[in-house]
Structure 1
């Protein structure tokens, strides 16, 4: 049975799962194992490997053998494991492209109305004469939009100076949403 030694404490295999769960690290481990399985078939060319490892070392200040050795010791990993970490992001990118690359744009366009969010200002009143008077006051800069909204709006926006949002573009009344899509 394998043991893990941390300082003067010895942890058994059975205790590792319990500790991972207790420290809320088990979901992260499961996620990473699933990702590794998904990208297993995506290999990098020798030049891609070299480039991504070199970039990883640069980004993490691991350009000297001493710096690399220090990280390897700190994380108790081999050089091969460190290089696998360096290559993981590019392999994930290859997986994404192979899995969703051609479908992504159409999916985005399909879901765009649920993803676009807007912030807009509104004064809600049932009196057309009041609405027209407020329009002229704001246009003539006699009063600010926020002041008018706070004083005359009949909806929840009265508390925010007329501001609503961020909300998805599909949430406002369709007539308002249509006007707002011009600016999105």
Structure 2
């Protein structure tokens, strides 16, 4: 197909003129860059504020070098320690270091709030595996449903044969995913099913979907979930602080830009 590019140049020129007419702080704000840079700066400040004691250092070093394939060097984590390691490892180690710094800061500032936040979020953190068969005909959907409840064929075999969705490549299986991820209509149905139950065809947009609940795993406050919840609490406060700060800062930046112009 031949793309119609003949009018691209005047369109770009017009767009450039519109952008040039705006003060730089307003342009950066409209493009989301002002917020992105502010968030990155605050995150770096948070990470740089965290250190590790001599007692913590061995465990931190072990986590930094986990899976690297070579033993960690015998040195402390003071100063510019990254400059003293193999250049090939510096990028990986820096990312892990920043993650560990952030994790410690989050624990210090939000650790006491995690359990109550977990209780509030527990239902939505539950993980499920379910079967789905999507077809375009209500008649075919009813036939598949009857064959399932009659035990004539397995859900996997019918999904592979009839489903028009991507789940046919997994024999109908979707997940494990948290219960809040599926379409709201599917989520509502799954909440009513016991493991092994098959639901009659559900009209959904232009499809008819047959659902079966395969597995339900209650949420647990393990290490991964704890870190997720810590990040949620941090991002909630960070976004609120950024909203307030940028609302106050942008007018001052615009005033300064106008006076300099």
Name the TM tier (shorter chain): 0.3 to 0.5
Larger Rg: 1
TM-score by length of 2: 0.35
TM-score with structure 1 length normalisation? 0.47
